[in-house]
């Protein structure tokens, strides 16, 4: 176990922003909130999955909604306490620990904030090893862990408990509709699982991983070395493009930020173009001409990550703009998403791209997302 520090928050925000693949909420806003909580004297203890008792009760905490809204409509600070209290009141038992629903973006901070304010430990794991836009896209729910009861709250004081859903697809549908009514952003605590379930189906050590990624970027800045190499040395994967944005189409639809971008190649990629489709997170990357998609170079469930070329800062989908210079990386996902069962939920066809064939990126043993 380890105790979270102010510097850890800085590193986690960068690393989670990168593994967020464009989504998961703005990591800068989450960082500011978490650092302020630490300044107020709160502490957070991070524990490993192996430290959980099999009969311990754990819930996830994460923000739901459109990232484009999350940068403008800020929380009031009480959501974490209220969502845990609502869940504990419904089940009539105490939650022993809190876990990440997704380690990407600002959602890496949501369980840390909840742990600090409720004085509960946070588990060094999540259910994605990245960010995904929909609730059913979870290593827990894919493997039969119950997604309800679930509690959700907004900044106005509204609180809803969903006691029973037929499956995680139903939870996504009902919770998304409620989230839209809440203003397209809400804090959600889906499901109460046992320690045994968490140990069997979670992606382990992801908070540690994003901290290491962030530390690698910070070190590369300090010594003026290549931050792309620094990230890939921790995560595995490869650079697939470097260039500048020449077109961004983005709309907030049904609680998601949906759209596509086109980047023009620079340096070794001059003369090429890259097209990326996104739904909160980057989904499919094609290499081609200015007006055509010719070759798929990466797709979900592997990670398509975008970094600002001068600083290594992660670029989220709400930050995309004309002229932005970026390096684009493809990083292998957790093996838990590479099964036939999981690919039906998180593969390209699940996002409306049935003609895109998923070809797994090669993984280096002992490196990257487990």
Q: Do 192 and 236 sit in the same domain of this protein?
A: no
Q: How many Cβ atoms sit within 10 Å of the Cβ of residue 81?
A: 14
pLDDT-derived band at 254 (thresholds 50, 70, 90) equals: confident
Domain that holds residue 256: 230-351
The 10s digit of each residue's pLDDT in 62-115 is 999 877 777 788 888 899 999 999 999 999 999 999 999 999 988 999 999 999
The 10s digit of each residue's pLDDT in 314-346 is 999 888 999 999 999 999 999 999 999 999 999
pLDDT-derived band at 252 (thresholds 50, 70, 90) equals: confident
Q: Do 301 and 195 sit in the same domain of this protein?
A: no
The 10s digit of each residue's pLDDT in 50-64 is 999 999 999 999 999
pLDDT of residue 216: 98
The 10s digit of each residue's pLDDT in 288-302 is 999 999 999 999 999
pLDDT of residue 124: 98
User: Residue 209: inside a domain, yes or no?
Assistant: no
What is the 3 state secondary structure string of the chain? CEECCHHHHHHHHHHHHHHCCCCCCCHHHHHHHHHHHHHCCCCCEEECHHHCCCCCEEEEEEEEECHHHHCCCCCCCCHHHHHHHHHHHHHCCCCCEEEECCCCHHHHCHHHHHHHHHCCCEECEECCCCCCCCCCCCHHHHCCCCCCCEEEECCCCCEEEECCCCCHHHHHHHHHHHHHHCCCEEEEEECEEEHHHHHHHCEECHHHHHHHHHHHHHHHHHHCCCHHHHHHHHHCCEEEEEEEEEEEEEEEECCEEEEEEEEEECHHHCCCEEEEEEECEEEEEEEEECCEEEEEEEECCCEEEEEECCCCCECCHHHCCCCCEEEEEEECCCHHHCCHHHHHHHCHHHHCCCCCCCCCCCCCCCCCCC
Least Cα distance to 136 among 369, 344, 280, 353 occurs for: 344
Q: Do 125 and 165 sit in the same domain of this protein?
A: yes
pLDDT of residue 272: 97
Q: Do 81 and 152 sit in the same domain of this protein?
A: yes
Q: Do 38 and 165 sit in the same domain of this protein?
A: yes
User: Residue 18: inside a domain, yes or no?
Assistant: yes
User: Residue 357: inside a domain, yes or no?
Assistant: no
User: Residue 358: inside a domain, yes or no?
Assistant: no
| Terminal CA-CA length for the chain | 19
User: Residue 313: inside a domain, yes or no?
Assistant: yes
CATH code (residue 123): 3.40.1610.10
Q: Do 73 and 117 sit in the same domain of this protein?
A: yes
CATH code (residue 339): 2.40.390
Using CA atoms, how far apart are residues 122 and 111, in angstroms rounded to an integer?
A: 7
User: Residue 360: inside a domain, yes or no?
Assistant: no
Using CA atoms, how far apart are residues 131 and 210, in angstroms rounded to an integer?
A: 12
Q: Do 101 and 184 sit in the same domain of this protein?
A: yes
**Against a cut of 0.85, is the pTM above it?**
yes
User: Residue 57: inside a domain, yes or no?
Assistant: yes
**Residue 255 above 80 pLDDT?**
no
User: Residue 263: inside a domain, yes or no?
Assistant: yes
Domain count, the chain: 2
Q: Do 299 and 160 sit in the same domain of this protein?
A: no
Q: What is the mean pLDDT of the chain?
A: 95
């Amino acid at each position: 176990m380890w105790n979270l520090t102010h510097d850890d928050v800085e590193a986690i925000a960068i690393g989670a922003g990168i593994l967020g693949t464009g989504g998961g909420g703005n990591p800068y806003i989450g960082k500011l909130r978490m650092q302020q909580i630490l300044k107020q004297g709160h502490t957070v203890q991070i524990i490993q999955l192996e430290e959980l008792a099999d009969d311990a009760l754990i819930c996830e905490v994460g923000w739901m909604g459109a990232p484009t809204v999350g940068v403008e409509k800020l929380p009031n600070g009480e959501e974490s306490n209220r969502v845990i209290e609502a869940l504990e009141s419904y089940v009539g038992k105490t939650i022993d620990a809190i876990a990440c629903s997704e380690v990407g973006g600002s959602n890496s901070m949501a369980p840390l904030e909840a742990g600090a304010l409720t004085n509960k430990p946070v588990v060094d794991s999540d259910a994605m090893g990245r960010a995904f836009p929909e609730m059913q896209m979870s290593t827990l729910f894919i493997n039969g862990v119950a997604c309800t009861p679930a509690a959700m709250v907004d900044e106005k004081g509204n609180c809803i408990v969903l006691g029973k859903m037929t499956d995680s697809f139903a939870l996504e549908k009902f919770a998304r509709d409620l989230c839209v009514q809440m203003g397209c952003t809400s804090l959600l605590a889906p499901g109460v699982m046992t320690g045994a379930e968490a140990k069997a189906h979670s992606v382990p050590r992801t908070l540690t991983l994003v901290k290491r990624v962030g530390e690698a970027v910070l070190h590369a800045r300090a010594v003026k070395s290549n931050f792309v190499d620094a990230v890939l040395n921790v995560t595995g994967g490869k650079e697939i493009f470097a260039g500048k944005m020449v077109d961004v189409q983005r709309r907030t639809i049904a609680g998601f930020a949906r759209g596509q971008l086109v980047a023009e190649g620079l340096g070794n990629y001059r003369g090429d173009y890259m097209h990326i489709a996104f739904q909160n997170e980057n989904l499919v990357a094609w290499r081609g001409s200015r007006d055509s998609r010719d070759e798929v170079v990466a797709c979900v469930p592997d990670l398509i990550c975008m970094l600002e070329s001068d600083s290594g800062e992660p670029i989220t989908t709400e930050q995309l703009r004309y002229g932005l210079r970026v390096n684009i990386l493809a990083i292998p996902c957790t093996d838990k998403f590479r099964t036939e069962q999981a690919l039906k939920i998180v593969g390209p066809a699940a996002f409306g791209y049935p003609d895109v064939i998923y070809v797994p990126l090669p993984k280096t043993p002992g490196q990257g997302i487990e």
